[in-house]
Structure 1
Amino acid sequence: MTVEEVQNENQKKEFLEFPVRLYQHDKNYIRPLDKDIEAIFNPDKNKFFKNGECKRFLFKNEKYETVGKIAVFVNRLYKQNQPTGGIGFFDCIEDQETADFIFDYCKKWLQERGMGAMDGPVNFGERDKFWGLLIDGFVEPLYGMNYNFPYYKELFENYGFKIYFEQLCFSRPIFAEVSRVFTVMHAKHSRNPAISARPMKKNNLEKFAKDFTEIYNKAWSSHGEGKQMNESKVLKMFNMMKPIINEHISWFVYENEKPIAMWMNLPDLNQWIKHLNGEFGWFGKLKCIWYKRFKKNEKMVGLVFGVIPEWQRKGIDGYMIWEGTQHLRKHTDFTTTELQWIGDFNPKMIKIAENLDTTVTRKLATYRYLFDRSKEFERHPIL
């Protein structure tokens, strides 16, 4: 088998085109935007190159046909029990020998750089995109979510990878019956003149960025991960999202104008992107605008849900959900809401998702392979 490092334009194109050929008969496959993939491997656009190294490779058979591809990387800020590298953007024909060759190649590459394990398939970047292997729920992926054939699970596990953590994705129909608890809490808090709910508006992003930051930092300080966000970064994020913000589906709750809860959603971009075949130049942008205007998008994606500590377990979430749901049922075409994945190591967030009256509709897995095969394998610690 021949191995080629992706360096020139033809190799970059093949890295993008190989999965398109591989999945050509799979109706659920949605080609990601080429620019989103290429940005990950561009040191000028991906900050993780400052503390890491990343290479991608094509694997060819004796007929010089591509039979697999992968990216392998070291992120020195990725702190684990042992130095751990990553692999991602893996695609392969249904052949264990080919997959083993690819995994062996990555193992050797990582060992040469002092790594003691490899996680995959993961992203050379944040966990919010291209992270995990789909193991259950083989339907159209959400924007930025990995999709793969069912046989990939066997390729990983037969090699010796073990599940480090499962990634649970939750969903519910917009018009499904809402929990009576939600309607009761809505009725209760509606009688309180100090409590109000309002949707996010594009013409006042500064205010909502400030409110988002306040709620997020208070809510997440008690969830075990210690994440904090900066208001200026949130505003920058909101401005980037402005073209796709739907003003009917993101909600904030206030007590006398003090922000106490939020429910942030966006339309699933893949419902428009699936018509673009990866292209997002000027023509692709025009097509996207046309589909956005004339093609119904029936799926929205929950990004963040949060309630400040002093209002938790008081039913303010039910008030917000029913207030928003009644509104978006009247003013949008959405029929399904989906939540981005939650790790099985985070029972608090899973409980929040379950309290939203959702069910698990798909699972992904982050796998780990320890190079020292005598070492005891441990799953991700519970938060």
Structure 2
Amino acid sequence: MTQSDLVITPVSGKADLKAFIDLPWSIYANDPNWVPPLKAEVKALLTPGDNPFFDHAEAQYFLARRGSQVVGRISAHFDRLALAQPAEQGMGPGTGNFGLFEASDADVGAALIAMAEDWLRARGMTRVLGPISLSIWEEPGLLIQGHDHPPTVMMGHNSPAYQAMIEGAGYAPAKQLKTYDLDITSSFPPLIQRIVASGQKNPRIRIRKVEKAKFDKEAAIILSILNDAWGKNWGFVPITDAEVVHTGKKLKPIVFEDLIMIAELDDEPVAFMMTLPDLNEALGPLDGSLFPFGWAKLLWWLRKPKVRTMRVPLMGVVQRLQSSRIASQLAFMMIEHIRLDAVAHYGSTRGEIGWVLDDNQGMNAIAEAINSTVNKVYQIYEKPL
């Protein structure tokens, strides 16, 4: 495909893949809030055999060039597990995705999006939902609010110019995802403290830390709760056992026992909360590479991280309890346990909760009740093909 001197081609071979991975370094060269990812991690994300997402998904990557200069990139992909979901939950039959979108200008952006649409259309897709890079569980949505501060671990960052590019290509908002900022050095409001104290006196409730030595078993418990708790949420796609194992291995270096809680009711695990120290605070200075000294710096940091921000990427309560008072009580109890440990053991002062769906009334109410405020908004767009 050409547009004046613009040429778009599928990624083919090692040199193209390297160019695809390297492009953000030029796009964000003057953006102080962009955090360079580890290039090895990005390569693993994109590579079938290294990422179990491809056990149930197909993808094609594209590069845009002007002459010898790479000026844009995009992925087009579809997930067979997403195609099997009910359409009223956001995914469903005929829904493909684009993601990993970067463009130096509007002409590049328009051409890349058109190319991704053509690829999806040729494979029977009738609707596009994006940007999603690559799975809904990774970095979904386009950042439309909160460009003025860096993202936390496993959250996306993009140019503010991309909103006009995507909307200009005929995309309409489908769903917003929000993250909340929280001062964790302050005690929660008196009402929340009373709810937590009441739960602590309830002999039916036990809030426990995960056991890192048995993390595979603990991860299976968390997965079971997650797939049940999130099963009716917009955009939900079940996580496979292979993805749990893969994610567990990837996250294990930043898993700390006092930052992940499982709540039990009558000895049955019914809720969990996962908190991660913001690895981006350590990754930023490494500029995408662990060599020559990055490994040593990162390993030293991971021994006992002192970190300003903690991120809560996942929290869930089984569906049968979600409309009960005990659901919010369990959530407040887990948050308070982790808040105290994050301040005492890691020197943290700030928490970030999210992402949270804009129509998740329960989670949004919990976030507001503890005096957190929205600090970033991500938009997922849709378009019929």
Q: Say yes or no: TM over 0.5.
A: yes
1:64 aligns with 2:73: no
Q: Are the equivalent residues in 1 in contact too, given 2:74–2:113 (CA < 8 A)?
A: no
Of stretches 209-218 and 27-36 in structure 1, the one that deviates more from structure 2 is: 209-218
From the superposition, tell whether residues 66 and 195 of structure 1 become closer, same or farther in structure 2 (CA, over 3 Å).
closer
Number of positions where the alignment pairs a residue of Structure 1 with one of Structure 2 = 368
Quick one: distance in 1 between partners of 2:233 and 2:383? 28
Q: Report the equivalent of 2:109.
A: 99
Aligned pairs for 1:161-180 (under 5 A) are 161-180=171-190
Q: Report the equivalent of 2:16.
A: 11
Q: Are the equivalent residues in 1 in contact too, given 2:136–2:237 (CA < 8 A)?
A: no
CA distances 1:220-269 after superposition (whole Å, capped 9, x unpaired): 56879998778998677556533222233223344565445432211122
From the superposition, tell whether residues 174 and 6 of structure 1 become closer, same or farther in structure 2 (CA, over 3 Å).
same
Q: Are the equivalent residues in 2 in contact too, given 1:134–1:150 (CA < 8 A)?
A: yes
Aligned pairs for 1:130-141 (under 5 A) are 130-138=139-147, 139-141=149-151
1:326 aligns with 2:340: yes
Quick one: distance in 1 between partners of 2:234 and 2:7? 46
Structure 2 runs not aligned, ≥5 long: 1-5, 84-90
Of stretches 179-188 and 281-290 in structure 1, the one that deviates more from structure 2 is: 281-290
Q: Secondary structure at the match of 2:113?
A: helix
- Shift in Å, 1:183: 1.0
Of 310, 313, 316, which aligns to 2:325?
Answer: 313
CA RMSD of aligned residues (A): 3.2
Quick one: distance in 1 between partners of 2:352 and 2:230? 21
Q: Which amino acid aligns with 2:131?
A: P
- TM-score in terms of structure 1 length: 0.82
Q: Report the equivalent of 2:30.
A: 25
- Shift in Å, 1:92: 0.8
Q: Which amino acid aligns with 1:176?
A: S
Q: Report the equivalent of 2:95.
A: 84
Q: Which amino acid aligns with 2:14?
A: E
From the superposition, tell whether residues 232 and 257 of structure 1 become closer, same or farther in structure 2 (CA, over 3 Å).
farther
1:185 aligns with 2:195: yes
Q: Report the equivalent of 1:38.
A: 43
1:340 aligns with 2:350: no
CA distances 1:307-358 after superposition (whole Å, capped 9, x unpaired): 4545941434333433443343222211111123122344344344444543
Q: Report the equivalent of 1:127.
A: 136
- Shift in Å, 1:64: 2.7
Structure exhibiting the larger radius of gyration computed from Cα positions = 1
Of 278, 285, 307, which aligns to 1:275?
Answer: 285
- Shift in Å, 1:365: 1.0
1:157 aligns with 2:178: no
Q: Are the equivalent residues in 2 in contact too, given 1:181–1:318 (CA < 8 A)?
A: no
Q: Which amino acid aligns with 1:362?
A: K
Q: Secondary structure at the match of 1:4?
A: strand
From the superposition, tell whether residues 144 and 193 of structure 1 become closer, same or farther in structure 2 (CA, over 3 Å).
closer
Of stretches 217-226 and 25-34 in structure 1, the one that deviates more from structure 2 is: 217-226
Quick one: distance in 1 between partners of 2:254 and 2:230? 26
1:362 aligns with 2:367: no
Q: Are the equivalent residues in 2 in contact too, given 1:244–1:266 (CA < 8 A)?
A: yes
Q: Which amino acid aligns with 1:162?
A: A
From the superposition, tell whether residues 15 and 300 of structure 1 become closer, same or farther in structure 2 (CA, over 3 Å).
same
Structure 1 runs not aligned, ≥5 long: 372-383
From the superposition, tell whether residues 333 and 222 of structure 1 become closer, same or farther in structure 2 (CA, over 3 Å).
same
From the superposition, tell whether residues 78 and 197 of structure 1 become closer, same or farther in structure 2 (CA, over 3 Å).
closer
